[in-house]
Structure 1
Amino acid sequence: MNPVFSLFVILAFLAVVLLLEGSFVYWNDSKSPEVRRVEQRLRAISAGGHEAGESQLLKQRVMSHSPVLQKLLLKMPRAHQLDRLLEQSGTGSTVMHLITVSLLCGLGVLMVGLLLRWPWPLTVLAAAALTAAPGMRLLYKREKRLQMIEAQLPDAMDLISRALRAGHAFPSALAMVGNEAPEPIAGEFKITSDEIGFGISVDNALNNLTARVVSADMRYFVMAVIIQRETGGNLAELLDKLAELVRERFKLFAKVRVLAAEGKLSARILTVLPFCLAAAIQFLNPKYLSVLFTDPMGIRLVIAVLTLMVIGIFAMWRIVKIRV
């Protein structure tokens, strides 16, 4: 065999092996599941508060992976609020991803409306609604996640109380909740435990917890712990009473929710009914409603009716929303 050809084969084999090894190392350092979990934890810490220097540095990673877009997003006045909304909803995406999806939805509907020659008020309203849809979905997911955390909080406080009675320190009790409690409350307490391990004070870490979890019960828990650390007392007994109080509050809220169920159903039916009737009439007789979108007076009436409907929906929402 030709020695030059043999040397070429050996070098080609070594090049392929090194390429595969380099690709694996790059994937393991940047795209592996463990790295993604660490990045998600660090992103959650950076979205929680502003007390530690580490968090200030990690904020650079929250907005966007592109340096140019990152600088632009940092100049936006509401960028950090959007980032906090993403963390509160339990979504692992970035602010830039949310903005991109919203703009693409709005532009897509706008282009479809222009191609199909929809009336311009309908096109603008549809584009605005689709642009706001990702944000509304995040608000819905955040509300559901907060409800789950509030339902799991009494059991978490009982676990902390038992850990304190067993002789564990308070940070260790928080770590036990993060390791043994179910999600999503386990992730929040694990982030708080990590913040304390990174050097943030217990008070600041608990305040960051209330910033991530916007809940009255969580604020009561944090306030009780902070006051007890300043004044002293039996924290385990205090947490037992607070957990019992939260459970009784949930029982009362369940009774109120049953009593308000009929009103909520009526509000939803009255909200959806006009749009369903308009869609059915448009499908059965398209020319019947065309005058509303072609005549100037019809367009004014449509705008006035939609404005009154929004006011009515807001009023019904306030009536059926009962706080406990």
Structure 2
Amino acid sequence: MTEGPPSILSLAWLLSLVYVFVAAVFVVRRLTDKSGKELARRIKAATRGRDAATDAAGDLVKRHEMSGLRWLDVFLSRQAWSRRMDKMLAQADIEAPLGIFVLLSLVLATTGYVAASLYAQNPFVRLAVGIGLGLLPFKWIAMRKARRMQEFERQLPEALELVGRALRAGHTFTSGMGMVVSEFAEPIRGEFQTTMEEINFGMGVAVALDNLMDRVDCPDLNFFVVSVKIQNETGGNLAEIVGNIAWLIRERLKLKGRIRVLSAEGRMAAWVLCLLPFFVCGAVQVLNPGYLNLLFTAPLGHILIYLVMGLMTMGILVIRKMVRIEV
């Protein structure tokens, strides 16, 4: 006797266990969060003198936590990929620690694998579903970072023009950045405000701009930072330099927009070619149930499925290479 499909009650029980586990992770994170105590210690150290404050700041950098769980924080601190992901979290303006997303990814991967095993006997299908669900939190981080960096790139030319006008009016460079902070919205306001605070606290302009370039993943910002650093060393008309950089960035954005419009047809063709086989299979299965069963049960059918998936992947990579043009 073959087992039938799992009941709704069993799936609900499985999802309940997943939610309880995720909730437990957040509770543990809340109970082990020591950021308030660390902040109070730094303030107390700052009142005792500059040296103590410097030691507290250095100690805080050393004790940057990637997770509220001690064992997970130790594990993540020893990994190279975790440092890159932690930097991506900062660029995406996500305050949650990396450990939350790692645990969530493990929970989703395990849930996907277990749920797929209830319906599919092929281990590759189970593994694919588990990996796909496990990558969802990191995909969300990448998408949030991309949107934030795209918005920063869109705001950058106008912000640099404002800095250039402030320099022509006789204001200082930091005053021009202060105007950007007061006139613009996020994300450029927060990044420029952090740079201004570093300069006001005694950090050199070149070092503060290097930190800005490290925090923001925007190639156009490199032109501005390098030009300001060169101007500080060799001299020159900074207002004219900033204005020219703003014009250059705006022209690059126009060119990228034109390229995106011209390549829209190729991207749409890629979507159609990728989704059409699945829609056709679904329509055939609905109109004539059992017609495709041989494709999923026979060994030759499995070979054909793997071959088709490989060819589709190769086609996606080729089309992606064709429509992605670097400016």
Once the 2 structures are TM-superposed, how far is the Cα of residue 157 of structure 1 from its aligned partner? Answer: 0.5
Instruction: Check whether the contact 1:60–1:70 (CA below 8 A) recurs between aligned residues.
Output: no
Aligned equivalent of 2:99, options 79, 96, 101: 96
Q: CA shift at 1:102, angstroms?
A: 1.4
Residue 294 of structure 1: aligned partner:
297
Shift, 1:137, TM fit: 2.2
1:143 corresponds in structure 2 to 146
Change beyond 3 A, Cα 1:56–1:30? closer
Q: CA deviation at 1:150?
A: 0.8
Q: Does 1:209 align with 2:212?
A: yes
Q: Give the Å deviation of 1:198.
A: 4.1
1:78 corresponds to 2:73: no
**Partners in 2 of 1:89 and 1:229 — Cα distance?**
31
User: Which residue matches 1:192?
Assistant: 195
Structure 1 equivalent of residue 242 of structure 2: 239
Distance in 2, matches of 1:286 and 1:62, equals 54
Which residue is equivalent to 2:260?
257
Range with greater deviation from structure 2 (194-203 or 120-129):
194-203
One-letter amino acid of the counterpart of residue 133, structure 1: L
The alpha carbon displacement at 1:96 in A equals 0.7
Which of 119, 124, 131 is equivalent to 1:121? 124
Give the C-alpha shift of residue 270 in structure 1. 1.3
Aligned partner of 2:296: which letter? Answer: F
What pairs up with 1:1-324 in 2 under 5 angstroms?
A: 30=36, 54=57, 57-58=60-61, 60-324=63-327
Q: Larger relative contact order (C-alpha < 8 A, sep ≥ 6)?
A: 1
Q: 1:277 to 1:119 in 2, by over 3 A?
A: farther
Q: What is the letter of the counterpart of residue 267 of structure 1?
A: A
Whole-angstrom CA distance in 2 between matches of 1:185 and 1:177: 8
1: CA distance, partners of 2:127 / 2:150: 34
Aligned-residue offset at 1:310: 1.4
Give distance in 2, aligned partners of 1:118 and 1:199. Answer: 63
Deviation at 1:321, TM superposition (A): 0.9
Percent of pairs with identical residues: 38
Code of the aligned partner of 2:60: L
Query: Normalized against structure 1, the TM-score is what?
Result: 0.77
Residues 286 and 232 from structure 1, CA distance in 2 versus in 1: closer, same or farther, beyond 3 angstroms?
farther
| Matched-pair contact (CA < 8 Å) for 1:264–1:320 | yes
Gaps spanning 5+ residues in structure 1: where? 1-26, 36-51
SS in 2 for 1:323: coil
Greater shift in the superposed pair: 165-174 or 90-99: 165-174
- Assess if the C-alpha contact under 8 Å between 1:119 and 1:293 holds in 2: no
Are the structure 2 counterparts of residues 197 and 305 from structure 1 closer, same or farther at C-alpha, using a change threshold of 3 Å? farther
The alpha-carbon distance between structure 1 residues 57 and 290, as it changes in their structure 2 partners (threshold 3 A), is farther
Q: Secondary structure in 2 aligned to 1:61? A: coil
SS in 2 for 1:233: coil
Q: Name the amino acid aligned to 2:173.
A: F
Cα 1:86–1:276 change in 2 (3 A) is farther
CA distance in structure 2 between the partners assigned to 1:215 and 1:303 by the alignment: 39
- Contact 1:179–1:190 (Cα < 8 Å) also in 2: no
Aligned residues: 278
Pair 1:180–1:150, CA change in 2 (3 A): same
Q: CA offsets, 1:150-204, max 9 Å, x none? A: 1100111012122323433323433332332111111111222233344433222
Q: Which runs of 5+ in 2 are unaligned?
A: 1-32, 40-54
Over 3 Å counting, the alpha-carbon distance change for 1:283 and 1:207 in structure 2 is farther
Contact 1:161 1:237 survives alignment (8 Å):
yes
**Aligned equivalents of 1:247, 1:115: Cα separation in 2:** 54
